[in-house]
A and B are shown apart, each in its own frame.
Chain A
Amino acid sequence: MSALNVKTRQRLLSAGTLLGFFLLWELACIATGVSDLILPRPSQIAAVLWEKMPLLWPHTVQTLYTTLSGFALGVMIGIVIGVAIGSSKTAYDVAYPLLVGFSSIPKVAVVPIFVVWFGAGTVPAILTSMVISIFPVVVNVATGLATTEPELEDVLKVLGARKRDILWNVGLPRALPYLFASLKIAITLAFVGTVLAETVAANRGIGNVMMIASGNFDVPMVFAGLVILAVMGVMLYGVSSFVEGRLTGWAQRKSDVVMA
């Protein structure tokens, strides 16, 4: 009972802090008389959100669609590469340094290439979001597979287990919590990739809206875009955390998951 009270109190405190933050912002703007071309007041941003929602909504949906498409592609490809690398010791040793090398390339750099190949629009945004979200999935799946105890593998080999049996019965279930942990990271990265590509080379999406608004010095609109992104980001993270918690109950006792 008291545990519930503690939780409720924490929630109330968080909400209060957030509210206080906006209130302070509002008051500071009024007190200093700062121009809304530099820092608009939260009430102005809220007004813009309310009035322009019919215009902003399709862009929100576009950004969400691009993020989820890139994420889905990235996860599928990531799983395939991760399984390929993680199920063989040699492949793991050879490919791991390469992967780390690739992952350290700043992903902004690939956007112009995708634009050259596919033209400005949705495709480069999806691809950027995909490329950026592959890596954590690959690393986590490969690590999950590679951490199978050698003794257990011996027990199964002696029983005459084929590689496929070991992968199916031990490797994949063992890699699952690693995979779920990586989804949380991948969705956040996919989102970053999408907005990045939208600001550089797209004609739709919240990133594009913000880019155009900033060109027109419509600062309240830029902030409205930012608020939408923040809300979307928190929601995506929340959903994937929730799914992870649900699916890997047994693995919660082990917290040795790699955060890549």
Chain B
Amino acid sequence: MSEAFVELSDVTVRFNGGTIALSQTDLRLEQGDFVALVGPSGCGKSTILKLVAGLLKPSSGVVLVAKREVGLAGSVRKEALGASVPVRIGLAFQNPTMLPWLTIRENVMIPLKIVSPFREQYARKKKGEYAERAEALLAQVGLKGFGDKRPWQLSGGMLQRASLCRALVHEPQLLLLDEPFGALDQFTREELWSIMQSLWMSQRPTVLLVTHDLRESAFLANRIAVMSARPGRILEDRAVPFARPRTVEMSYAPEFAALVQQLRMRIAHTRAEADTAAQAAEVTA
């Protein structure tokens, strides 16, 4: 087994209100891997993502990214351990959160304004190299010629494409996606799966994708981690064997459908268990 790039060991997260969002969870991602995290809503998927991003501290256990412990001082960038170069992370959510006073290109370029070593050269390169880099990415997601538009002139699907570009423009080693296609219609979503796949194949960041769409997880991921109802644990971690590049037609093949069906059963089962447990707790209370 090769070395882990992201590793959660025995992680528990308890929120202030007493909610236990995660309980003794383990998860490993190898460098360049594409892992999807699926599970019933409220089971702690976003919590895992935030832990890896360094936005949240575990109550106990350890979260390592490139062998550095994160979540200690807020973000991975904080150089807590030695002088090793911090891991670059890209993040995208369901809500594309483009800034309305900037053009789409300027929005995509935001990370270059903030992340070292781009930050230092931003004033000099924003008109040339960096603008070209943003335009190239926009072209890759089918937004050629939209760089000068303002966010409100674009549809939801187009904004989400731009949001993917913003998450990738600084060539992150780690890409974290929290239900990025959740608000889109089925057709747009499937289109974006293919775009996401080709972006990943060209840049090869390590990806952690949180989704509630099982077809999406099977289409995009190398591995799917299924979580139990709250408090979340990883119930099952399974490889997705389909060859790449995968196509939407392939997602209608019997083996694909069978995989999605098995995942669905697994999640339905854990939800039913959680409901029974809750009822039992109510009876004893």
Contacts and interface: CB of A to CB of B under 8 A. Distances in A.
Do they bind each other? yes
B150 A250 contact: yes
Which of A152, A155, A156, A161 has most chain B Cβ within 10 Å?
A155
Contacts of B100: 250-251, 253-254
A155 B169 CA distance: 13
A11 interface: no
B5 interface: no
A9 interface: no
15 contacts: A155-B93, A156-B110, A157-B75, A158-B54, A158-B90, A159-B111, A159-B170, A160-B77, A160-B116, A161-B114, A169-B114, A173-B99, A250-B100, A251-B101, A253-B152
A156 B111 CA distance: 8
A39 to B, nearest CB: 52
A85 to B, nearest CB: 22
The 4 residue pairs across chains A and B that have the minimum distance between CB atoms:
A160-B77, A152-B97, A151-B93, A159-B114
B66 interface: no
A93 interface: no
Nearest to A173: B101
Interface string A149-181: 101101111111100010001100110000000
Interface in B106-140: 110-111, 113-116
Interface in B74-118: 74-77, 86, 89-93, 95, 97, 99-101, 110-111, 113-116
Chain A, interface size category, equals 20 to 34
B20 interface: no
Contacts of B214: none
A158 B152 CA distance: 25
A72 to B, nearest CB: 25
A154 B76 CA distance: 13
Chain B, interface size category, equals 20 to 34
A160 B99 contact: no
A88 to B, nearest CB: 15
Given A159-B111, A159-B115, A160-B86, A154 B152 contact: no
Interface of B: 50, 53-55, 74-77, 86, 89-93, 95, 97, 99-101, 110-111, 113-116, 150, 152, 166-167, 170, 176
Contact of B95 (A151, A160, A173): A151
Given A159-B89, A159-B170, A250-B100, A154 B55 contact: yes
A48 B207 CA distance: 79
A254 B150 CA distance: 14
B115 A160 contact: yes
Interface string A241-255: 000000000110110
B183 to A, nearest CB: 12
Interface of A: 149, 151-152, 154-161, 165, 169-170, 173-174, 250-251, 253-254
Given A250-B150, A251-B100, A158 B91 contact: yes
Given A169-B113, A250-B100, A158 B55 contact: yes
A35 to B, nearest CB: 59
B136 to A, nearest CB: 20
A249 to B, nearest CB: 9
B93 A157 contact: no
A169 B110 contact: yes
Contacts of A173: 99, 101
B273 to A, nearest CB: 32
Contacts of A157: 55, 74-75
Contacts of A159: 77, 89, 91, 110-111, 114-115, 170
Contacts of B114: 156, 159-161, 165, 169
Given A156-B114, A165-B113, 7 more contacts: A151-B93, A154-B55, A154-B93, A155-B93, A159-B91, A169-B99, A170-B99
Contacts of B93: 151, 154-155
Contacts of A169: 99, 110, 113-114
Contacts of A165: 113-114
Contacts of B97: 149, 151-152, 155
Contacts of A254: 100
A149 B91 contact: no
A186 B231 CA distance: 51
Nearest to B94: A151
A152 B99 CA distance: 9
A147 to B, nearest CB: 12
A157 B89 CA distance: 10
A158 B88 CA distance: 8
B74 A250 contact: no
A225 to B, nearest CB: 43
B241 to A, nearest CB: 32
Contact of B75 (A152, A158, A251): A158
